[in-house]
Every structure is written in structure tokens, then in C-alpha cells.
Structure 1
Amino acid sequence: MTREEAEHFLADAGRLADEAFPLFAAALACAVHDDPERDVDQAQVVADEGAVRLAARLERESPEEAIAEAMAGDLRLQGDLFTYDHLDNADVIAVAQRRRGIPVSLGVFYLHAARRCDLDVRGVDFPGHFLLRIESLEGPLALDPFSEGRVVLPSELSRRALRTGLTPDVAGRLDLLMTPVSDRAVLIRLQNNIFARAQAAGDYARAERSALRRALLDPLDHRPWLDVAAAREGQGALAGALEALGRAQQLDGGAAIAARAARERVRLRLN
């Protein structure tokens, strides 16, 4: 798959309804778009093996035990504690090779296996740390893919929420903290991680690519185009930055003031 083919795939995926969104295939396309000089076969093999291992374990273990043992035990997928901010941790091809990643990239493998085995597992956009929600006989449970898929107790969820700055009344609302999100939102969160890391490292070309992928995955959202513009400006591509800001204005009138101000600032630099 070439970078152009990956863009076409992501654009097609972006037009699908949430229930039809192809999470793992789209995640692979994102990785190819970032660096097309790689083979996707190993990542696909790892993902498919996870589904096979999970199916076998479900015959003798509870869903929450089976998915943790299949992914963290059998596949050895784990959180990268030592080089957490390394960009490879947010790339599913690299994660499959290294067997290490950040919570949301690891979560993509968990969710793929769960979908194949008809388990009710969904992503949770928990503040500061992506989690998974699995439905069990005792009700919904939180799983942490970064910590070998272990169950996170409600009291710990509240403590984590407090550490992110949420107020005690909100941190105690597990119904809010455990609200599931779509697979599309999971992949967009992964691209946000890449954008933040690349932007901080001054890798504006990579930041632009990640922001463009977000724009393709959610074509009605104006915000990715603001990030595309910022990344292009960082590369000195001012005409391209203006074009991206224009797209943001077209998509959302609420962005018009901020985008217009940014456009004017960039336009003045062109003179």
C-alpha cells in the first residue's frame, strides 16, 4: 500500500458509520501513511493471532481474564515504561514488532481481538490514560491495556481522575468516567498522540501527516485542519497553511474567528 492508497482508504473509512468503522485496517493504513516503506504482514499476523488465542481462552476463562491473558500473556503486548514518548509506541506496525506501546495503540489490538470473538469491549476516553470497558457478569469493568490488561478498581479510577485535575464530584461519577467511545474516536486519539509527540519534537512533517489522517477519519471536524495549518507553518509551507485554515473555516463557522486571525497572521508572513 502506498501513502496515496492509504489516504484513499482512510477517506473511505471516514465516510462510514461508526458501527461499520474498520478499526484495525484503518490503524494499519495510518501506520502505512506515516511510513509506507514497511510490510504490514507481521502486524496483521499478530492481530489475527490475538483473536485465535482469545477464542481458545474464552472456552475456559472469563472474558476479562481471557483477553488479558491472550494479549499480554500469549502475545506479550505490554506498556513501554522506559521510552514511553517514543513515536514507535503509537504505531501499530512498530508495536507488533516491539510488543510494546502506549495504552491506546495496545488497545487497538485488544479491540480487534474482542470484535473477532464477539466480546463487548469498547474504548474509554479516560482523562490522561486510555482504558477499555468490558461487560462482565458483575457489570462493566475497566481494563488497562498498558498494565497487562488488568482490571482497574473503581476506587483507583477515581484516584486517577483526581490526579488529572477533575473535581471530586466528577471523579466519583464512574458512569461518566467509563462512558465508551467509538472505534473511530479510539483511532483519532491515537493520531492525536502522534501529533503531540511529533510537534513537540519539531517533526512538523510527521505532525502534518497525523493531523491530515484525523481530518480524513472525521471529515466534518474542523479542528484537524487547524493542526494541519500549524504543522505546515512550522515547515514554512505558508500557502499550504492558508489552504488548511480555509478548510477549517468552511467546516465550522465557530472556528471562523480563530482561523481568520491565523490566516491573517500567515498571510502577513507571505508578504
Structure 2
Amino acid sequence: MPTQQLDYFASLVIDDDHFPLTEAAIAVAQHAYPDLIIQNVMDELDLLGDKVKQRITSEMQDIQKLQILKNYFYQELGFGPNRNDYYDPDNSYLHSVFETRRGIPISLALIFMELGQQLDLNIKGVSFPNHFMVRVSLTQGQVIMDPLTGTSLSKHELQEMLDPYLDAQGYRGELQLPLSVFLRSSSSREILSRFLRNLKAIYTQQERWERLLGIQQRLVILLPNAVEEVRDRGLALAQLDYIRPAIEDMQKYVDECADASDLDEIREQIIELEQQYRHH
């Protein structure tokens, strides 16, 4: 397991005040593309940023800048959703999204946000349920934008998107949470954890354990207090027959989460793994 890449990723995400989100998101792909040169992708981004900057003048308002950026990103460069294969992991890897111009909301948002920041737009990511959004603060007010298409969404449209989620979670009636709760901007760490968890879900479903382990290692680094990610790394290790480290991860979870609902299951798995280990 390449520790060098993990050390590099760890160095990027260590500090919330200096958190190079775009670079860290590009770096995630190194587990699947070990030869990826991150600086090349960053250079490509800067090149796109320089091109769009040439169209901006000092007296332009932010709303005009946003319009120019949207036009450039969606019309000229042709970024958009991969409708044919939404669950292709490459939709999440930024270097691949660059090549194909196809992504999912969060990967497109990351590129759009980076370009927006280069134009000094006040642009943030929003971890909206089931669909990542972008929020741009303008003098006229807040714009919530769908990063798949660049469409601005009204409160009514956002509420319609939110309602099925609220229903599924049982947040209706007395417990109705206001829309504004779901529209606050997310920290870089929150955005990157959502980005990684998308990949985690895909690789779990596809049972690609080696790939899943690469993601889990990064989630454990990114979220040092999330002991359930340590458990899940243990489960991935067990699938790959790395029995000793798998037991250690699961044991840590059992020791730290005395009231977790899945303790019995995890304890059983530890016992099974220990038996396997003895017979090796």
C-alpha cells in the first residue's frame, strides 16, 4: 500500500485554515491512478482560469462575472452530467472529468468553484441532500445553482427536491426542518468527505475491495474522529485478507463505541478473523 500518496494526502488535509480542496480532491484519484501528476491537473485548471479572466473587466459586477463563467463552463467547454453512466467512478475523479467533460454534481462543482474563486466570486459548496449544490453570494442576494447544468434554483424548486428526503428521514410535520438548514455552505472537509463517500458507495456496490480500501484509508485520514470509518477500513481489509490489520481496526471500533448498534456483528467478525488467522 503506497504510504507516500497517503502521506501527501494527509499533509493536504491536516489543517482546516489552509485546506487546498481542489488539490486534495484531485489527489484522491491517486489510489486508482498511481501515475497521476496532480500538478498537471492544477496547471490545466489555471489555464482555464486565465482564459476566462481575460473576459472580465474591473468594473464588472459579480452577477456579470457569474454569467460569463457559466457560459464558458457549460456552453464553451461543454461540462455536464454523464447521463449514460452516472455511477462510473471516473465521474468523481477530477482529472478524468477534465478529459471527458462529464461528471456528477460534486465533481463539476469543485471545478466550477475553483474557477469562480479565481475570478474573486464568493462561491461555496452546499451539501444538499442527494444533490450537491453551489452557492454564489452576489450583492443582489444568494444564488443556489445546480452544478450539473448551471441552472439557478428557486426556493420552491429546492423545497420540492428536499421533500422526498425529509419524508424518507421522517422529518415532517412537527419536525419539519426549514430549507435554510440545508443551504448553509459546507466546509472543505465536509465537501471532501462527501466526495469520498460517493466513491465509497460505488466501490462497495461494485465489490471492488482494493479500490474501496484506497478510499477508506483517505476517509480515516480526513475524519480522524469518525471511528466508523476505521471499522469500514477494517471490513475492506478483511475482504482483501489483510487479517491482522482488519482485526486491529475492528477492535478499535469495538473499544471506542460501547453503545453502537452493530457491536455484536463486529465482535463476531473479529472472532472469525482470529480463527482464520490461526489457521494460516
TM-score range, shorter chain: 0.7 to 0.9
Tell me how far apart the structure 1 counterparts of residues 137 and 176 of structure 2 sit (CA, whole Å): 21
Relative distance call for 1:58 and 1:186 in structure 2 (3 A) is farther
Q: Name the SS of the counterpart of 2:152 in structure 1.
A: strand
2:254 touches 2:266 (CA, 8 Å); kept in 1? no
Matched, 1:119 2:124: no
Question: In the alignment, what sits opposite 2:272?
Answer: 269
Question: In the alignment, what sits opposite 2:34?
Answer: 36
Q: Name the SS of the counterpart of 2:54 in structure 1.
A: helix
Tell me how far apart the structure 1 counterparts of residues 211 and 234 of structure 2 sit (CA, whole Å): 13
Matched, 1:211 2:210: no
1:13 to partner: Cα distance: 2.3
Number of aligned residues: 266
1:244 to partner: Cα distance: 1.8
Tell me how far apart the structure 1 counterparts of residues 166 and 272 of structure 2 sit (CA, whole Å): 38
Tell me how far apart the structure 1 counterparts of residues 73 and 45 of structure 2 sit (CA, whole Å): 9
1:171 to partner: Cα distance: 7.2
1:88 touches 1:95 (CA, 8 Å); kept in 2? yes
Relative distance call for 1:144 and 1:46 in structure 2 (3 A) is farther
Query: Deviations for 1:79-138, whole angstroms, at most 9, x for unmatched residues?
Result: 111110111101111111111111111111112222323221111110000001110122
Tell me how far apart the structure 2 counterparts of residues 179 and 190 of structure 1 sit (CA, whole Å): 17
1:80 touches 1:102 (CA, 8 Å); kept in 2? yes
Matches within 5 A, 1:1-271: 3-17=2-16, 19-40=17-38, 42-59=40-57, 60=60, 62-147=64-149, 149-166=150-167, 167=171, 173-248=178-253, 253-254=256-257, 257=260, 260-270=263-273, 271=275
Give the % identical residues: 21
Q: Name the SS of the counterpart of 1:145 in structure 2.
A: coil
Query: Deviations for 1:188-230, whole angstroms, at most 9, x for unmatched residues?
Result: 1111011100010010111111111111122222232122122
What CA RMSD, in Å, does the superposition of the two structures yield over aligned residues? 2.5
2:109 touches 2:134 (CA, 8 Å); kept in 1? yes
Instruction: Between 227-236 and 20-29, report the one with greater CA deviation.
Output: 227-236
The amino acid across from 1:13 in the alignment is L
Tell me how far apart the structure 2 counterparts of residues 8 and 151 of structure 1 sit (CA, whole Å): 39
Tell me how far apart the structure 2 counterparts of residues 248 and 118 of structure 1 sit (CA, whole Å): 43
TM-score normalised by structure 1 residue count: 0.87
1:23 to partner: Cα distance: 0.8
Please tell me whether Structure 1 or Structure 2 has the larger radius of gyration of its CA atoms.
2
The amino acid across from 1:269 in the alignment is E
1:257 to partner: Cα distance: 4.1
